[in-house]
Amino acid sequence: MAWLLVVIAGVLETGFAVCLKLSHGFTRLWPTIAFAAFALGSFGLLTLALRKLDVGPAYAVWTGIGAAGTAIYGMIFLGDIVSTLKIVSITFVIVGVVGLQLSGSAH
């Protein structure tokens, strides 16, 4: 259950990063409100998950999902540049997160 919270928190991190861009420096109301809601939800779920999980692997999964998700979203929906190096780098992030998870540090 705690890992599910981390995964959901990571997806919400993607949401708050995208809304941060869309807010244009907090000058647009609805993206700013969405940013705050996604951020609160993401940090809240991560905090609940950390009651049962080691901080290192949990934080790595959370940030890995957020970083990879945001980069992928940007390439698909926001016109960010797509390159082989970017895709390989996202793959390395995901592999690193999975490696930490499989390292035996999970409860």
Residues 30, 67: Cα–Cα separation, whole Å? 23
Could you tell me which of 24, 26, 25, 20 has the C-alpha nearest to residue 73? 20
| pLDDT score for 97 | 86
User: By the 8 A CB rule, do 45 and 85 touch?
Assistant: no
76-89 pLDDT, tens digit each: 999 999 999 999 99
pLDDT value of position 98: 85
pLDDT in tens, 27-66: 999 999 999 999 999 999 999 999 999 998 899 999 999 9
| pTM (two decimals) | 0.89
Residue at token pair 């996604």: 38
